[in-house]
Structure 1
């Protein structure tokens, strides 16, 4: 049985009962990560991003008062990740939210291609542990070769859990994850991972896993999940079979973020470039009125004059658009066989190479 967990677990959820500790409010009290995140789970990353003239636009960034990142321009993800704490830009320490936007605006006004170097602090989401670790329940160990990980998820502002799970033979498996930038499960899990315990509490059903995950995130803001990941072929084959059990099509599934951004950009282009309808390839209906036929003919004539020679345009510059994907365990992927070229095509290719 598959079930979506915390698909829109927003901080502004009014139905949630009031708690003594509010993890979302803790992010706005001071700069950086709040105290409930252990220091040993934080690591520093420095990376350089190539930006075109006029980029990045300051309005495409969204950060909290503590300089925690919750939105970035599409071309900056990766290497940026949701929840990064931005500490430096080009070696200059970022003091507060206002200072961050001032630096970004200053860099974008240079109107030249440049490399911008960012330094961030990031929560470590996955740490591998041995089978003999005391936190690994011995009764839930697989007889096959599997790797075990302690994964950490933080309830960041405006984040969503974004995970679908199912239970088979008293084990809870990750069926899919939301590939949106604000999904906290995207970095923590691969498809096919088994959730053995949540905060050291074993979970054997979808109901238990859902309750433990959501309660821990809402009350403490942090959750540690013990994950079992298949390695050897027999374990991989079993997980593949599990993912196919009771597989049902989701009604009206959420559109991926990258598809939404491409559609919005295309809609903006069509609204601002005075796009006109193309010539209709279908014949006019004989049942339509004479006035309607006359109007359609005038529209087609005008469209032909305006779009003659403009139906296809080729840009002088190439553009690169990133696409999102679900995090899949590489062991679950299958090799695609090489395409075998038939003899006729092989001879034709050989002749073309000789002529060249």
Structure 2
């Protein structure tokens, strides 16, 4: 269970015009931890993983696996195993041969190879298909073979590069559960790259959120969800995404957030009233998650609410929940509500804002204005001591 330490790791491509793919990444993956790197396309997450693997050179900074600095160590000598998006199985080999191929190259004794293959096949439920070729396997079976090929090597670190992207929705859910169970069983150090924030939330012990080559925030899944450090993290983590309203803080009989155009007014409680006092008369952005916007039914009895009138634009019944898309002036919102009778498109609907679940952001810096985000030296919260970036 080796740890991985990155200190100011930077990657610059200088083909033609200079392009900075990763800027000053600093964080630690603890031994036995499953760390997820998540972000949109072009955020630098795969480049970061490939630098850990040794498939990309490091422009600046230091990378340690365990106690060893590995910046210039070839991939084969880093004691890592990588699972790719495209499985990378040898089509002319059986499952058994694919599982044991790396060990064969290492000239391990045949009894050891057979034992390791047998163990990996048992862990992943591949015993019945050991003599099949990859073309006779389903997508889920091929992915398990790719996982098994990594397991038999017993590496210090497992690296996953979007391994579930080629699977359908049902198989992705199944394989997420299998990878999570595998991590618990092996207790291995794992770094997992994905663009899917649902995968990140369900798999990771901690998550590194990247955007345009920079780390935005590091933390446990629910910490990122409840305490996003900036507007990007708030909008990226969570599905449907957080609703945002541009407006100003006004003082009158009571302090309130007033959306641009006056379409809605949300009173502020004592904590936010005090926190946002310096922003009186200034522009701010308010955010609220879809599940914190309530229709008639499902409101918590112990919460405080402020209501606003919207016009329904669309209703998506999903069985156990309903997504309501509505508009107030130029402001669109999505609300996630419990099953109940709702207004039809074009009709008015009152939605209640849970005042205890509001978020506010500085529109210039996009930083969260919550106390949890006001940490000296950076925007990263919920991570380990000394981890910060942006």
State TM-score, norm by structure 2: 0.24
Query: TM-score when scaled to structure 1?
Result: 0.25
Compare the two structures and name the one with the higher strand fraction. 2
Q: Quick check: which has more Rg, 1 or 2?
A: 1
